[in-house]
Amino acid sequence: MEQLIEQCLKKDATAQEKLYETYRKQLFAVCLKYTSSYAEAEDHLHDVFIEIFQKIQNYKGKGSFEGWMKRIAINKAIDKHKKKKVFELPAYRLGSLSDDAHEIYLEMEHIKIPFEKLMEFIQELPNQYQLVFSLYELDGYSHRQISALTGITEGTSKSNLFRAKMNLKKQILEYTNHNHKRLGHEG
């Protein structure tokens, strides 16, 4: 890997292509979590690799190279969301939101849904919900980290996560109920 990085530092097109082919699927999966369609994810992936090649000299070998590239993809997504001004929502009173959100998560564990369908539902979330959901649930960021990255309060992050889960729960239940009835399992 070090040799490939060295070649990319020299702007070697063959090495850049090899790096792209090696990591495009992994980074595309990251991009899908933060965009509203496959086409937008492909555009985002393109932008991510441009930035990787432009900033590869900033990688100092601390931590994994894959993690460094993933952070670029996530930060680029956050920057795009900030430009859309998706965070101009009022902060809602949360009460015992984290308990409710946890229950929603647990309730959904027994339902089987194709990954592609779940990604479609995530991509259909309003931008502010999708970003927080993806950062928190799919990439393991804390509400404090999300607040620092996006400029929203921790309370708004929790509220957006709660609303994302409620929206996803509704979509998933509608999908499973529709498929259940379609297969002749009237209940």
Residue 122 makes CB contacts below 8 A (sequence gap 6+) with 33, 130, 133, 134, 168
117 is written with which tokens? 């369908």
pTM: 0.62
CATH topology of domain 2-83: Rna Polymerase Sigma Factor; Chain: A (1.10.1740)
Give the residue, 70 or 106, on which the prediction is more confident.
Answer: 70
What gap in Å lies between CA 77 and CA 31, rounded to an integer? 8
Question: Would you place residue 182 in the very low, low, confident or very high pLDDT band (cuts 50, 70, 90)?
Answer: low
What is the CATH code for 97-182?
1.10.10.10
Instruction: Examine the pLDDT at 5 and tell me if it is beyond 70.
Output: yes
Question: Would you place residue 86 in the very low, low, confident or very high pLDDT band (cuts 50, 70, 90)?
Answer: very low
Domain residue ranges in the chain: 2-83, 97-182
The per-residue pLDDT for 97 is 36
The per-residue pLDDT for 89 is 33
28 is written with which tokens? 């595309």
CA 142 → CA 9, 112, 134, 138, distances in Å?
Answer: 33, 26, 11, 11
The per-residue pLDDT for 181 is 64
